[in-house]
Amino acid sequence: MSEKKKEKSRVKEEPRIGVFVCDCGLNIAGVVNCSEVTKYAEKLPDVVVAVENKYTCADSGQEEIKKYIKENNLNRVVVASCSPRLHEPTFRRCIESVGLNRYLFEMANIREHCSWVHPHEPEKATEKAKDLVAMAVAKAKHLKPLPKIQSPVINKALVIGGGVAGIQSALDLADMGFKTYLVEREPSIGGHMAALDKTFPTIDCSICILGPKMSDVGNHPNIELLTYSEIEGIEGYIGNFSVRVRKKARYTTDECNGCGECWNVCPVITKNEYDRGLGPRKAVYIPFPQVVPLIATIDKDHCIECGLCENVCEREGAIDFDQKDEFLDLEVGTIIVATGFSDYDPTGEYGYGEYENVLTGMDFERLINASGPTLGNVVRKDGKKPKSIAWIQCVGSRNEKNPHCSNFCCMYAMKEATQIKEKYPDTEVYIFYMDIRAFGKDFEEFYKRLMKRGVHFIRGIPAEVKETKDKNLKLVVENTLLGRVSEYEVEMLVLSTGCMPQEDAQEMQRKTNISRTADGFFMEAHPKLRPVDTPTDGIFLAGCAQSPKDIPNSVAQAKASAASAAIPMIKGVVEPDSIIASVDPEKCTSCGLCAKYCPYHAITHEKGKPVEIIEAACKGCGTCAAICPVGAMEQQGFTDAQLMAQIEAALKEKPDQKILAFLCNWCSYGGADTAGISRFEYPTNVRVIRYMCSGRASAKLVNKAFELGAGMVLVSGCHIGDCHYIDGNYSCEDRMKRYEKTLERKGIDPRRFKVEWFSASEGGEFAEYMHKIEEERKKLEKEGVLTPMKKK
Amino acid sequence: MTSKELKAIDMWQEKVQLLYEKDKCIGCGICVQICPKEALMLNPTGASIKGYIEEDPINLDQEKCVICGVCVALCPEDAFKILINGEERTLIVENDGLPEEIKFEGEISIDQEKCPKGCRTCEEICKEEAIKIDEEIKIDEEKCTYCGSCVIACPSEAIKLKRTKLVCEETDTKIMKRVKDTLLGEVRLENMLPAAPETKENE
What digits encode the pLDDT tens for the residues A115-158?
Answer: 999 999 999 999 999 999 999 999 999 999 999 888 899 999 99
Structure confidence at residue A761 as a pLDDT band (50, 70, 90): confident
Of A471-475, A757-761, B34-38, least confident by mean pLDDT is A757-761
Distance, CA of A298 to CA of A311 (rounded, Å) = 15
pLDDT of residue B193: 78
**Is the predicted pLDDT of residue A301 greater than 60, yes or no?**
yes
Mind giving me the DSSP string for A41-58?
HHTSTTEEEEEEES-TTS
Distance, CA of A16 to CA of A48 (rounded, Å) = 6
Helix A206-219 crosses helix A164-175 at what angle (to 10 degrees)? 40
Specify the 3-state DSSP secondary structure of A675: helix
Report the candidate in A92, A93, A99 with the shortest Cα–Cα distance to residue A4. A99
Give the up-direction half-sphere exposure of residue A189: CA atoms within 13 A in the CB hemisphere.
Answer: 33
Mean pLDDT of B30-50: 93
pLDDT of residue A1: 47
**Is the predicted pLDDT of residue B145 greater than 70, yes or no?**
yes
Structure confidence at residue B195 as a pLDDT band (50, 70, 90): low
Q: Shortest Cα distance from A266 to chain B (angstroms)? A: 8
Do both A386 and A481 map to the same domain? Answer: yes
Structure confidence at residue A4 as a pLDDT band (50, 70, 90): low
Q: Which CATH number fits domain B103-192: 3.40.50.970, 3.40.50.720, 3.30.70.20, 3.40.50.1000?
A: 3.30.70.20
Contact A267 B69 (CB under 8 A): yes
| Tens-place pLDDT, residues A516-539 | 888 999 988 888 888 999 878 899
| Tens-place pLDDT, residues A653-712 | 999 999 999 999 999 999 999 999 999 999 999 999 999 999 999 999 999 999 999 999
Fold observed for domain B14-94:
Alpha-Beta Plaits (3.30.70)
Whether residue A576 lies inside any domain: the answer is no
Share of chain A above pLDDT 90, in %: 90
Report the candidate in A736, A147, A132, A499 with the shortest Cα–Cα distance to residue A728. A736
Per mean pLDDT, which of A328-337, A567-576, B44-53 is the most reliable?
A328-337
Contact A269 B92 (CB under 8 A): no
Backbone phi, then psi, for B10, in 5-degree steps?
-105, 110
- Of A635, A662, A680, the position where a domain reaches its end is A635
* The pairing of beta strand B40-42 with beta strand A334-337: unpaired
Top residue of B9, B10, B11 to mutate, by most chain A CBs within 10 Å, is B11
| Tens-place pLDDT, residues A205-230 | 999 999 999 999 999 999 999 999 99
- Of A87, A117, A149, the position where a domain reaches its end is A149
Structure confidence at residue B202 as a pLDDT band (50, 70, 90): very low
Mean pLDDT of A41-70: 96
Q: What does the H/E/C string look like for A108-140?
A: EECHHHHHCCCCCCHHHHHHHHHHHHHHHHHHH
Mean pLDDT of A421-444: 96
For residue A359, what are the β-bridge partners? A494
pLDDT of residue A284: 98
Do both A37 and A116 map to the same domain? Answer: yes
| Tens-place pLDDT, residues A590-620 | 999 999 999 888 899 999 999 999 887 788 9
| Tens-place pLDDT, residues A435-473 | 999 999 999 999 999 999 999 999 999 999 999 999 999
Whether residue A574 lies inside any domain: the answer is no
**Is the predicted pLDDT of residue A408 greater than 70, yes or no?**
yes
Share of chain B above pLDDT 70, in %: 95
Q: Which amino acid is at A39?
A: K
Specify the 3-state DSSP secondary structure of A779: helix
pLDDT of residue A12: 63
pLDDT of residue A677: 93
Chain A residue closest to B90 (CA)? A267
Residues from chain A contacting residue B68 (CB–CB below 8 Å): 267-268, 304, 306
The verdict on whether omega for the bond into residue A552 sits within 30 degrees of 0, i.e. cis, is no
- Of A566, A598, A615, the position where a domain reaches its end is A566
**Is the predicted pLDDT of residue B17 greater than 90, yes or no?**
yes
Do both A378 and A331 map to the same domain? Answer: no
Distance, CA of A38 to CA of A61 (rounded, Å) = 15
| Tens-place pLDDT, residues A624-652 | 999 999 999 999 999 999 999 999 999 99
**Is the predicted pLDDT of residue A303 greater than 90, yes or no?**
yes
Do both A185 and A329 map to the same domain? Answer: yes
Do both A1 and A122 map to the same domain? Answer: yes
For residue A47, what are the β-bridge partners? A17
Distance, CA of A112 to CA of A77 (rounded, Å) = 20
Do both A708 and A785 map to the same domain? Answer: yes
Asked if domains B14-94 and B103-192 share a fold, the reply is yes
Q: Decide: A82 and A114 in contact? Cβ < 8 Å.
A: no
**Is the predicted pLDDT of residue A267 greater than 90, yes or no?**
yes
Q: Could you give the C-alpha distances from A726 to A55, A235, A236, A721, A731, in angstroms and in order?
A: 37, 8, 10, 8, 10
Q: What is the DSSP letter of A638?
A: S
Contact B12 A267 (CB under 8 A): no
pLDDT of residue A11: 55
Q: Would you give the distance in Å from CA A608 to the centre of its chain?
A: 44
Is B14 in the A-facing interface, judged by CB distances under 8 Å? yes
- Torsion sign across C-alpha atoms B64, B67, B73, B75: positive
- What is the separation, in whole angstroms, between the first and last Cα of chain B? 46
Q: Which amino acid is at A384?
A: K
pLDDT of residue A507: 92
Q: Shortest Cα distance from B11 to chain A (angstroms)? A: 5
Domain segments of chain B: what residues?
A: 14-94, 103-192
**Is the predicted pLDDT of residue A723 greater than 90, yes or no?**
no
Contact B84 A374 (CB under 8 A): no
| Tens-place pLDDT, residues A386-395 | 999 999 999 9
Do both A716 and A629 map to the same domain? Answer: no
The verdict on whether omega for the bond into residue A287 sits within 30 degrees of 0, i.e. cis, is no
Question: Which residues form the domain of A715?
Answer: 638-792
Residues from chain B contacting residue A305 (CB–CB below 8 Å): 36, 174-175
Residues from chain B contacting residue A266 (CB–CB below 8 Å): 91, 95
